Amino acid sequence: PEGPPRPRTVWLGHPEKREQRYPRNVINNQKYNFFTFLPGVLFNQFKYFFNLYFLLLACSQFVVEMRLGALYTYWVPLGFVLAVTVIREAAEEIRCYMRDKEVNSQIYSKLTARGGLSFSTARAFMLTFAKNQRCHLDGETDWKLRLPVSCTQRLPTASDLLQIRSYVYAEEPNIDIHNFVGTFTREDSDPPVNESLSIENTLWASTVIASGTVVGVVLYTGRELRSVMNTSNPRSKIGLFDLEVNCLTKILFGALVVVSLVMVALQHFAGRWYLQIIRFLLLFSNIIPISLRVNLDMGKIVYSWVIRRDSKIPGTVVRSSTIPEQLGRISYLLTDKTGTLTQNEMVFKRLHLGTVAYGLDSMDEVQSHIFSIYTQQAQEPPAVKGLSVATKVRRTMSSRVHEAVKAIALCHNVTPVYESNGVTDQAEAERHYEDSCRVYQASSPDEVALVQWTESVGLTLVGRDQSSVQLRSPGGHILNFTILQIFPFTYESKRMGIIVRDESTGEITFYMKGADVVMAGIVQYNDWLEEECGNMAREGLRVLVVAKKSLTEEQYQDFEARYVQAKLSVHDRSLKVATVIESLEMEMELLCLTGVEDQLQTDVRPTLETLRNAGIKVWMLTGDKLETATCTAKNAHLVTRTQDIHIFRLVTNRGEAHLELNAFRRKHDCALVISGDSLEVCLKYYEYEFMELACQCPAVVCCRCAPTQKAQIVRLLQERTGKLTCAVGDDNSIEGKQASLAADFSITQFKHLGRLLMVHGRNSYKRSAALSQFVIHRSLCISTMQAVFSSVFYFASVPLYQGFLIIGYSTIYTMFPVFSLVLDKDVKSEVAMLYPELYKDLLKGRPLSYKTFLIWVLISIYQGSIIMYGALLLFESEFVHIVAISFTSLILTELLMVALTIQTWHWLMIVAELLSLSCYIASLVFLHEFIGECSFLHTDVYFIATLSFLWKVTVITLVSCLPLYVLKYLRRRFSPPSYSKLTS
C-alpha cells in the first residue's frame, strides 16, 4: 500500500479479518528491470562529460560538412566502450537477480487448520521452523535467547493455534533491529489474556534455530522486512585515482581546444572558420583516449581477481571492484578493538571481592571455598556452637566467595545445550546432564566465559529454560531456581539483571551485573570499587560489577504488577519499563568484580608496526573503558614503548575543553587517549582545533565510543584532512556479517590487512598509474603526428589515418602490450612486506601527478614529432609511402616503449608483445586485398618488405625511444628510486 508504514493487527487463523493489504513477500535488489535496463545504463554513462563528449563526436559525423572519414571510425570505439559497460552491468544484474530468486523461492512449512503442514514461499501467516533451519539480521555468530508467547505453550498441539481466538498487534515497520513493540491477545479465555511482546519474542528473517521447533506468525513481508529497510542501495564509489584521471582528461580537452584554435588562427580564420574549428576538434579528438576508461576498468577487474586468488590472504572478498587503487594510498586507518584487533574469545582471569582477589594461579582456593560451603551444608546442622575464630573467618570468606560465584552462575542469558554425536537429544542428555555433551549458547562470549569459569570451580550450569535454572553443586546435587524476571543487556543500559526464587528456601533475589560506570551509582557506598576497576582495566581486562538485592514476596509482587503494566504499554514502553526497573536498582549489595581478557589476534603487533612504518596513522575506536583501551593499545604496539601517552581529561563544558586542548597542544609526538563523552564536547565546540591536533598524533585511542560516534569520526577525518581513510571492524550500524556485506573489502583476519595494503594496494595504484599514462601517451603520439602532418600541409584539416588504422592502432596492434602493464611490479611481494617504507612514497601521489603527466606529454610530443618528421625526411622522394612508414614506426615505438618500461617480465607480457606484432604483420600480408581504404596495405606490401623500408623504420623507432632511455638510465644512476637497493 502507498503511504507511510502503519501498525497492524494479525489474527491467527482468520485471514479474512485482515485490515490492510501487505506487500508481497518478494525482495528486489536490482537497479533496473527489463524495460529500464538499457535506457538506465546509457543515461548513467552519458551524464558524465567524458562519454557525452565522444557521443557528440560520433553524432557529428552524420553532418556531411564535418565528416572526416567512415562512420565506424567513431562509432565502433564508442560502441565497444558501451558494450563493455552494458555487459558488465548485465552480469551484475543477472547475479543480483539469481540471488533474489533464490531468496524469493525459498520454501517454508505452513501450519494448516487440519494439523498438517503445507509448503509455501512465506506468504502465509503461520510458519514452522526446525533446528538448524535458517529463518540473522544482525549477523552475529553468538546465539541469542528468544522466548515464545507463554500463554500459547499450554495448547495440546500446534494446530490449536489456529482454533483459538487470538491476534498479534505489531508496531509499524521500522529500521530498528534492536527493539520491537507488540502485544499478544487471546479473547476466548476467561479472563482475556494480554501478553507483552518485545525483541525477545521475535525472529528476524534468516535466523538459524539452535534447537527445537518454532511456530511463528509472519508480521512483516517484502519491502517491510527490517533487513530490507536496513539495506541501502549499492552505491558505485568513485576513487581518488579516477577523479585525478578525470582532471587530466579535462586538461587534455583544454589542450584540444587550444590546438584547434591555433590551427584555425594560422589560417587567419579564413572562410567558414567555425566549421574548421569543429573539424580540427574532430581531427585531434584522439588527444582524449576513449579507451582510457575501458583499460582502467578492466585493470580493476584484474586487480580484484588477483586479490581474491592470493593464497596468503584466504577468504578475502572484493565487493567494490571500482576502488582497488585506494588501497595503495591509505593515510589513516580506523579500527575497532573487540573482534578486530582481538579474537573475541574471552578467558576468565580475575575475581575480586574487595579485600581479596583471585587470579588464574589461585582459582583452586575458590574451588576449595565452594566445596567447603556445600560440604558443610550437607553435613552440619543449622546451628553449630563452639566454632573456632579461624573457622568462622573461613566460613565468612567461603560464604562471600559462594555468593559471588552463585550470582555469576545465575545472572546471565546462557543456555546449556546437550548434543550427542552432533545431534541434539535434549530429553536423554538432560536427564543425566552429561558434561561431555554440553555446549553453552549465549549472545556474548563474555557470558560463556563466566559460566565456564563457575563450572571449573564447582558450580555448574546444567539446565535452563524460559522459567527455571538448574545448577549442580560440587557434591552432585541439583539446585533449582525459578526465573521470575529477566532484564536483558542493552547498549543503552550497559547492564543486565535477573530475579530468581530459590526452590529450596523460597528466597527471592535480584542479581545484576554491568559496567562500572552505571553500577557505581546502583550499589551501596564502598571505597574500593573505582580503584580496583581501574587496576584491572590497566591489565587489559574487561570488568563487570556483580551485585544482588534480596526481595520479600510483597516487594516482588508490587514490582511485578507495575512491571507488567509498563510492558503492556504501546506508547513510550521503553521509558516506562526502565522507570519501573530503576525503582528496584537501589542500594544493591556489591558482591564482586570479574575480569575477562580478550586475546589479541595472531600477528596484530607486527601488522600494526608494518602500517606505522608505512606512514599510516592508526586510530583505535572502542566501546571499552579508558584503562582497558589504553592497555590494549600498548599490548598491540599501537603505541610504541618510547612514545608518551596523553590521556585527555574528562570535560563536560566549553571552558574545560578549551583548557584541556591548550594542555594537549603543548605535547609533541604524543599518542592521544580520549573518552567518547569528552570527544563529543570537543567536537561540539572546537571541532576544527581538535581534529587539527589529533591528526598530528602518531596514534589516537577513542574509548567508550558509540557506533554512531565511530562513523562521525570517520567522516570528520575525511572532510578535515582530505586524505584517504580506511575503517576496519566487525561492527557499524549493523553488526557482524551484515557489516561485512556492506564493506568494500572483507578479510578474515586483521593480519591480512598488511598484505592487502602493502602488496595489492601498492601494486594496483602503481599499475593503474602506468596504464593510464601509457594510454594517454598512445593517443597523444598519434595526435601529435596529425598536428605535424596538418601543419606541413598548410594547416589543412585532412586526416593522416582513417578507418581500420585508427581502430587497429588502439586495439589489436597495441592494446595487449599496454594492458599487460597490469601485471608489472617493481619489487617482489616479500620485499614490499619487508620494507613497508616503500608504501610511504605512494601517499604523496607521485606515480600519477601533474609532473609525471607533463613528462609523458613532452615524451609524446617528442616521439610523435620524430616519427612524422623522420618519415617526411627519410622518404621525401617516396611521399606516397609516408602513411606506411609513419604508422609502422608508431606501432614499433609503442611496443618498444612498453618493453623498455616493464620492470618484472611475466610470460603473458611476452605473449602480448609477440601477438601484437604478429597481428600487424599478418594484416600486411593477408588483409591488403580487403581493406581498400588503407591504401598502403594493398599497394605497398612489397615495398614494406624491402630492406630500405625496414632499416629506415628501425632508425626512426630507435631515435624516438633510445634518447629517452639514456636519460632515464642517467637519472636512475645519479638519483635511484627508493627500491633500487632492495632489488640489487
User: Is 337 part of any known ligand binding site?
Assistant: yes
DSSP state of 620: E
Three-state secondary structure call for residue 470: strand
Rounded to whole angstroms, how far apart are CA atoms 586 and 522?
A: 5
Rounded to whole angstroms, how far apart are CA atoms 957 and 961?
A: 6
Rounded to whole angstroms, how far apart are CA atoms 285 and 281?
A: 6
- Do the beta carbons of residue 730 and residue 739 sit within 8 Å? yes
Q: Which residue has the cell 612514497?
A: 841
Residues with Cβ within 8 Å of residue 173, at least 6 apart in sequence: 5, 220, 224, 225, 226, 229
What distances in angstroms separate CA 374 from CA 402, 434, 687, 726, one per listed residue?
Answer: 9, 21, 59, 55
Phi (first) and psi of residue 967, to 5 degrees: -65, -40
Rounded to whole angstroms, how far apart are CA atoms 322 and 239?
A: 7
- Do the beta carbons of residue 767 and residue 295 sit within 8 Å? no
- Do the beta carbons of residue 350 and residue 783 sit within 8 Å? no
Rounded to whole angstroms, how far apart are CA atoms 406 and 398?
A: 12
User: Is 968 part of any known ligand binding site?
Assistant: no
User: Is 624 part of any known ligand binding site?
Assistant: yes
User: Is 489 part of any known ligand binding site?
Assistant: yes
User: Is 825 part of any known ligand binding site?
Assistant: no
Which cell is 558 given?
A: 508490587
- Do the beta carbons of residue 920 and residue 891 sit within 8 Å? yes
SS3 annotation, 186-198: ECCCCCCEEEEEC
Rounded to whole angstroms, how far apart are CA atoms 614 and 350?
A: 38
Rounded to whole angstroms, how far apart are CA atoms 728 and 765?
A: 20
Select which of 242, 336, 598, 731 is catalytic.
336
User: Is 31 part of any known ligand binding site?
Assistant: no
Which cell is 810 given?
A: 588502439
User: Is 957 part of any known ligand binding site?
Assistant: no
- Whether omega for the bond prior to residue 707 falls within 30 degrees of 0, making it cis, is no
Is 336 a catalytic site residue? yes
Query: CA angle at residue 511 from 508 to 512, to 5 degrees?
Result: 155
Three-state secondary structure call for residue 761: helix
Rounded to whole angstroms, how far apart are CA atoms 514 and 495?
A: 4
Closest alpha carbon to 486 in 505, 470, 506, 465? 465
What distances in angstroms separate CA 900 from CA 393, 817, 852, 944, one per listed residue?
Answer: 87, 12, 17, 25
User: Is 579 part of any known ligand binding site?
Assistant: no
- Do the beta carbons of residue 482 and residue 476 sit within 8 Å? no
Residues with Cβ within 8 Å of residue 595, at least 6 apart in sequence: 348, 349, 350, 351, 352, 536, 539, 541, 542, 543
Rounded to whole angstroms, how far apart are CA atoms 677 and 674?
A: 8
- Binding-site positions for Mg(2+) read 336, 338, 730
- Binding-site positions read 336-338, 447, 489, 513, 542, 622-624, 704, 710, 730, 732
Catalytic residue IDs: 336
- Binding-site positions for ATP read 336-338, 447, 489, 513, 542, 622-624, 704, 710, 732
